[in-house]
Structure 1
């Protein structure tokens, strides 16, 4: 092999190595950019119960809050008791002391913006309609429940998180299965009446 051929081979090898390095750099930059994109829309969803009382009103309920930097797209919300899924909250609602007002917000399919807080469930009584002891007992009964939420970012990265009685860090999951029903919306008398006239929905 002549000197010229050796030089050409060295040049060719250098060109291949340079191309490989360029490809690696481009791939690494793409990976970093994707990570930055995901980080810039990373949702952190929390669900907390609350109990409060003042001279006029006694309250209890559930709040959802997104403490992240991107919208949280809620796909499913399940209530758990002793680790087992609760089909609905009707029995809990029916056991409430008389005189309550109940409001709810449908959460399945909702997008919660960064910093946004939503009252998913709010139960209130006039202060003279329920004693402090009865209010505390009712809150304790509802306090046995845990909530499990599956939510995703706009890039379809998904997490599952437990709240209320069992607060825990969010866990990455491959995907969320959309709930067919909303456990808070099912508390509506209209929804219950619909179930009674359409038993196949149960």
Structure 2
């Protein structure tokens, strides 16, 4: 092989190596950019139960908060007591001490903005109708529940997180399956239940 052929071969090898390096750099830059995009819209969802005793009202409830930097798109909210799935909160509602006021927010399909806090459930009593002992017992009963929420970012990266009775770090999952029903919407008949428990209001 002549010197000219050797030079051409060397140039060709260098060109292949240079092309391979360029492809790798472009792939790596794309990977970094994708990671930056995902990081810029990373949601961190929490669901916490609370109890409140101020001078005028006794209150328990559940709040959802997004502590991340991107919207949290809620796909499902499942409630458990131990290992048993709870299909409805009606029995818990019906066991509440009388005189309560209840409000709820549908969560499935909702987007929670970064830094936003939503009251998913709020149950309150005038201070004269609810003793501290009754409040503690009611909070303990509702606090025995665990909520498992599946939510996604705008780029369809999804997580499962547990809240209410137990709190755990979010766990990455491949996808979320949208719930057909919202556990909080099942409480929509509360006015009738309240009337049944308080016939003097009729």
Q: TM-score under structure 1 normalisation?
A: 0.93
For residues 35-73 of structure 1, give each alpha carbon's deviation from its aligned partner in whole angstroms, at most 9, with x where no partner exists: 000000000000000001112100000000000000000
Residue of structure 1 in register with 2:8 after alignment: 8
Which residue is 2:54 aligned to? Answer: 54
Matches within 5 A, 1:94-113: 94-113=94-113
Residue in 1 that maps onto 2:144: 144
C-alpha distance in 2 between matches for 1:183 and 1:116: 21
Question: Where do 1:186-201 residues align within 5 Å?
Answer: 186-189=186-189
Aligned-partner Cα distance in 1 for 2:169–2:90:
29
Which ranges of 4 or more aligned residues in structure 1 deviate by more than 2 Å? none
Trace 1:106-121 onto structure 2 (pairs within 5 A): 106-121=106-121
C-alpha distance in 1 between matches for 2:88 and 2:119 = 18
Secondary structure at 1:103's aligned position in 2?
Answer: strand
Residue of structure 1 in register with 2:42 after alignment:
42
Task: For structure 2, list consecutive stretches of 5 or more residues without a partner in the other structure.
Answer: 194-202
Alpha-carbon distance in structure 1 between the residues aligned to 2:83 and 2:72: 24
1: distance between equivalents of 2:124 and 2:93?
Answer: 12
Aligned to 1:198: none
- Counterpart CA distance in 1 for 2:100 and 2:73 is 31
Q: Which residue number corresponds to residue 85 of structure 1?
A: 85
Secondary structure of the corresponding residue to residue 176 of structure 2: coil
Deviation of residue 131 (structure 1)? 1.1
Q: Does 1:183 align with 2:183?
A: yes
Cα separation, 2, equivalents of 1:141 and 1:111: 29
Cα displacement (A) at 1:83: 2.2
Distance 2:40 2:84 in 1: 35
Counterpart position of 2:200: none
The alignment partner of 1:179 has SS state of coil
Deviation at 1:165, TM superposition (A): 1.1
Q: CA deviation at 1:130?
A: 1.2
Unaligned residue ranges in structure 1 (runs of 5+): 194-202
Q: If the length of structure 2 is used for normalisation, what is the TM-score? A: 0.93
Aligned equivalents of 1:11 and 1:127: distance in 2? 87
